[in-house]
Amino acid sequence: MNEERVAFNRRRFFECLSAMGLGSTLMPDALTIAAQDSETVTVEMIEIAQKIAGVSFTREEQQSIVTRLNATRGYMAGFDFLRTANLGNSTQPAIVFNPVPPGKALPAGPRFLNRREPVVSRPSTEEALAFLPVTHLAKLVETRQVTPSELTDLYLARLTKYDPTLHCVVSLTAALARAQAKQADAEIAAGAYRGPLHGIPFGLKDLFAVRGTRTTWGASPYKDQVIDTDATAYTRLREAGAILVAKLSSGALALGARWFGGVTRNPWNTQQDAAGSSAGPGSATAAGLVAFSIGSDTGGSIISPSTRNGLTGMRPTFGRVSRYGAMALAWTQDTVGPMCRSAEDCALVFNAIYGPDGKDNTVLDVPFGWDSTADVTRLRVGYLRSAFGDAPAGQTSPQAATRRNNEEALRVIRGLGVQVVPFDLPDVAIEAIDFIRYAETAAAFDDLTRSGRLREVEQGPEQSSRPAEIRPARFIPAVEYIQANRYRMRVMEQMDEAMSGLDLFIGANLTLTNRTGQPVLSLPNGFFEGSPTGLQLTGKLFGEPELLLLAHAFQSRTDHHLKHPSL
């Protein structure tokens, strides 16, 4: 007879004794409690649970534990309260992650954006107009060669035409967009030009709340959810005059490219998905359905779709952009960033959305100053050895093609006069910190789990594997969660030391840097069988200006970012 059956029979025996009034004299105290309340913790439960926690206690110590857990004002009472506290997804934890190691000063300096103004004429076709970078569209709007309403109608038409193929639109915000465009038309005609995003249509990943629109998080249980708030990223873009034309698809609960409306497709190759949970922004921006978009990233969800769809996308330093109004996945790792057609576009969008808002208590007040004309040769640049080197002869895989394209990109960067040195990342036990995000995700969706509706995400049209991550995370011990964050501090210090002589390095380790907070940028660096490959750059903390400068210089010598798919 197995142990589980023995424990069950033992419990039933003592329950019978209790029913006869004998339990109080014959049963251990913890089992007496178990007979009175089936939800009470027992010694047998502790015996099993201590295996997960990696500890071993004597029977007497186990008895002491259950007494403390089951006391009137003990742990279990506190747990019971929390389970009915309706914390939802939006309540921030009191503990705040700061990616800056102790003793390291925050960068200081002026806030500025210095760039060369392009000379642009309106293209002869609507197709060409749709694929222009924001820098060019902005000049056309500013010089009144095109109106915000014309651009809005163009992108709304393209969203309607191509979404049946790409499955990237959750909600077309046509009425809202036309009202915003009409306002922009009037302001610009009156000479009240707000800047380079004024009148520019954009898309927002459907994790960000906008009053009066659905915010579905890509998951069946939330497909009709309307949140009565505006996300800070949206508010700031509206203050800059940008126009929201669509809420774009997110993988269910920010995982992968599949959501309850289908699989979002790569416009370069519609047999492929668009990669990562910011798949909708990636697909729509690459296909010329919006001028730019906003994504979110916890484990690569800006960088992966930017790479696959041939975009320039930037995951900023943790704590740079407010997550207020966005779905929480992992409070100590979630970031918000731009997905655009060029590095300069990313600089314009990032400049509009970064900085404290008084609502997200992780955001640090660090200025952003970017000069597109700065001397790129002054950058201290490394290259990640593991991302370079000749691909084995005869290999024709995407990985081999990426490696070859990386080598060519390195040649271009050296041709800019940039000195590049080999670089290695510290050796880190990723498995010791990787589960941090799963514990936080389980907390973020505790209500969904307890309601039983987590199964809908697994069994619904999205067929998400997120529930398979959430369930085991319920058994991550609190002590190990704290220990993992202590080890995380050691890893942050190792990363800071490793990068002490560099501004950035060419290459990336997203699993590592998503936990240490460094910014990463992906930009197209070539093609393989008609689909883009991406070069990734990783910066020091708050090193967005350096990342954008090198990317902009690279794009001034190459035309990969100017190519677009033929739909």
User: Which residues does the annotation mark as catalytic?
Assistant: 205, 277, 301
DSSP bridge pairs for 217: none
- Neighbouring C-alpha atoms within 13 Å toward the C-beta of 491: 24
Quote the DSSP letter at residue 316. Answer: P
| Beta strands per DSSP E along 207-260 | 243-248, 258-259
Q: What distance lies between CA 491 and its chain's CA centroid? A: 21
Q: Which residue in this structure is represented by tokens 């339990």? A: 23
How many Å apart are CA 43 and CA 61, to the nearest integer? 10
Question: Checking phi first, is residue 483 left (phi over 0); if not, alpha (psi -120 to 50) or beta?
Answer: alpha
CB 517 within 8 A of CB 533: no
CB 158 within 8 A of CB 288: yes
Q: Which tokens go with 6?
A: 């023995």
Q: Which helix (H) or strand (E) holds 266?
A: strand 265-266
Instruction: Please report which residue ranges of 222-335 form alpha helices under DSSP H.
Output: 232-239, 279-286, 303-309
Quote the DSSP letter at residue 483. Answer: H
Sequence-distant (≥ 6) Cβ neighbours of residue 146 within 8 angstroms: 122, 129, 137, 140
How many Å apart are CA 506 and CA 369, to the nearest integer? 22
Phi, psi torsion values for 306, nearest 5 degrees: -65, -40
DSSP bridge pairs for 505: 382, 538
Q: Which tokens go with 382?
A: 């490394």
Question: Which amino acid is located at 289 in the chain?
Answer: L
**Nearest residue to 534 via CA among 347, 235, 313, 373:** 313
How many Å apart are CA 453 and CA 223, to the nearest integer? 13
Q: Which helix (H) or strand (E) holds 203?
A: strand 201-205
